[in-house]
Structure 1
């Protein structure tokens, strides 16, 4: 993806392009964060423990909640492949299904 400009929420190792304009801010547990498109916002939020998502002022209706729900189904660093057998490797939704939460 060299040369392609992506939103600040896109992890350098994540090969996917942005899914639209920058519309959300994702914060970690201590308040650090990044603005991003819905796609990368969800992928970032899914990789954080105790992360939060907020819509930016010009975000379309429901952007933050879409990111929140999408992140729930994504495992941390979802672009990595391989088995996910421990709770910290699985999505929050998967952990609930397995009774790990």
Structure 2
């Protein structure tokens, strides 16, 4: 199922389709937010420093946890698949933990 139009959490440069309806809100460190499907919300959250995720009122149980867990394994701006990733800020949080890089 895809969102039409795409959810607000989908970055304009991200070519991937939505995977279901918007179920969470992702907030940045300044409390600006966007609602999103789990797929795009995870990609957005992975790209933010100090971001947070909250379920929308009608979200399925565990939606925010699934987004948070998925974001941990994604590099920032995951839609730039060919971008060189050499700095800790360009790797996923999980990968940096495995490498022993402090945040």
TM-score (norm: length of structure 2): 0.92
Aligned length: 98
What is the aligned partner in structure 2 of residue 56 from structure 1? 56
User: CA offset at residue 69 of structure 1?
Assistant: 0.2
What is the aligned partner in structure 2 of residue 86 from structure 1? 87
Classify the secondary structure of the residue corresponding to 1:97: helix
What is the aligned partner in structure 2 of residue 8 from structure 1? 8
What is the aligned partner in structure 2 of residue 65 from structure 1? 65
CA distance in 2, matches of 1:84, 1:95: 12
Structure 1 regions of 5+ residues with no counterpart? none
CA distance in 1, matches of 2:40, 2:56: 14
- Post-superposition CA distance 1:12-61 (Å, at most 9, x none): 00000000011000000010010000000000000000100000000000
What is the aligned partner in structure 2 of residue 19 from structure 1? 19
Classify the secondary structure of the residue corresponding to 2:25: strand
Structure 1 outlier segments of 4+, above 6 Å? none
Is 77-86 or 20-29 further displaced after alignment?
77-86
User: CA offset at residue 82 of structure 1?
Assistant: 2.7
What is the aligned partner in structure 1 of residue 99 from structure 2? 98
Structure 2 regions of 5+ residues with no counterpart? none
User: CA offset at residue 83 of structure 1?
Assistant: 2.4
